[in-house]
Amino acid sequence: MTDVLWRGRASLTFSFYAQGVAFALLVTRIPAIQDRYEVSDALLPAFLAAVPILAGAGSVATGWLVKRVPVSRVLRWSQPVVFLSLLGVAAGDRMVELGVSLAAFGLAVGALDASMNMLGVSLQRAYGRSIMLSFHAAYSLGGIFGATLAWVGARLDYALLLSYLPVVVVLMPLAFVGSHWYIDGRQEPEEGGAAAAGSVGFKLLLPLCLVMTFAYIGDSTVSNWSAKYLRDVLGGSPEMATVPYNVYMVTTLLGRSLGDFGVRRFGAVAVVRTGAVVAAGGFAVVAWAPSANIGLLGFTLLGLGLCVLVPQTFAAAGRLSPGASDAAVARLNVFNYVGFLVGSPLVGALGDAWSYRGAMLVPMVLVLVTLVYARSFETGSDRYGGGHERPRTADVGRGSNGL
């Protein structure tokens, strides 16, 4: 049983890693994609907004689909669609082809994100200790690798297809083969039978939905505005302006790699509170920074603070009701994309109307609101501190081999 759990965890970790690579390859080559298809600056935001909107739809559809088929099957087939749609973006030459490829990418990413986190929640329950952050650390590592590949491709002026094809050829078959070791967890209703299975209503999930939204507003602020902020507001060089996001990703990887140990030792509530305070401190430093070097310190703090919030929010949703964890994760995942959609336009509008320093205080305040809802992360009787495993809760026979 332990070997089965280990293989399930390793295969899911690779899936998170591969998704990090794929997503980074898309978002870091947006200028090249815009040039290839001659997308105007006015039209580009519409294309970019369509991806998270469709991803939200894909996440909702996954919540419905997993009532009928195993989660592992959804994940197994959605990941190849992500890779193939990435190739579609690179290979097309007409606007309609870009639209179709991005639509497929968005829908598949929503299904992929939801199903990966569903399996992560069920595996954490099987282990009986916090492991959710390690999956998201693999995603961060993949993002760093994908962004590095994109930088190399841009530096050497490679065509998009030449940049994407080797990655897809290597990662897609490996992810598909590894998918046969995914482990589907049993959705065990609590007392109350079928009623309990539907007991995670929106009102109960609302605090976690808000935390997820605020975390992604913070994340999208860093992703979309850190380079411009360091260059235009703090006076950094063009070369230095590329550093904040890399620093943010590296510290995100570091924080997530160590975060599970913090949850096991101090509990999820303490880790979430600490992450929120550190992230808010990072935004405060960025807003106040008198120089680019101090600004980099702020972005470092942001990576260390924000990185724990999203994985722990998924884990908390899974604990609300073991009989409805898949539905809870699917609903919660939608607010990932809500935060992504809101964050960048919000900061941009405030920056233009007021100041970019002042705009950085808004995500700071929103992240601090997490402290109000910190009790929603309480693990209760499932507190992960003993380091033991509970393989009894994993259904290793369902969905791990079938197609």
**CATH number of the structural domain spanning residue 58:** 1.20.1250.20
Nearest of 213, 175, 217, 13 to residue 86 by alpha carbon: 175
Q: What is the distance of C-alpha 131 from the center of its chain? A: 15
Question: Taking 50 as the threshold, does the pLDDT of residue 196 lie above it?
Answer: no
- pLDDT tens, 374-386? 999 987 644 443 3
pLDDT number for residue 403: 45
In-domain check, residue 401: no
In-domain check, residue 172: yes
Q: Who has greater pLDDT, 347 or 198? A: 347
In-domain check, residue 403: no
- Torsion sign over Cα 250, 222, 63, 369: positive
- DSSP state, residue 93: -
pLDDT number for residue 360: 97
What pTM did the predictor assign?
Answer: 0.88
In-domain check, residue 278: yes
Nearest of 370, 346, 339, 374 to residue 360 by alpha carbon: 346
Question: Taking 60 as the threshold, does the pLDDT of residue 193 lie above it?
Answer: no
Alpha-carbon distance of 161 to 150, in angstroms, equals 12
Separation of first and last alpha carbons in the chain: 22
Average pLDDT over residues 312-328: 87
Nearest of 263, 261, 381, 317 to residue 117 by alpha carbon: 317
pLDDT number for residue 138: 97
Please give the tally of structural domains in the chain. Answer: 1
- pLDDT tens, 114-148? 999 999 999 999 998 999 999 999 999 999 999 88
Query: Domain limits at 336?
Result: 2-395
User: Which of the four pLDDT bands, split at 50, 70 and 90, describes residue 199?
Assistant: low
Average pLDDT over residues 14-24: 95
Average pLDDT over residues 319-344: 89
In-domain check, residue 136: yes
Q: Who has greater pLDDT, 292 or 187? A: 292
In-domain check, residue 39: yes
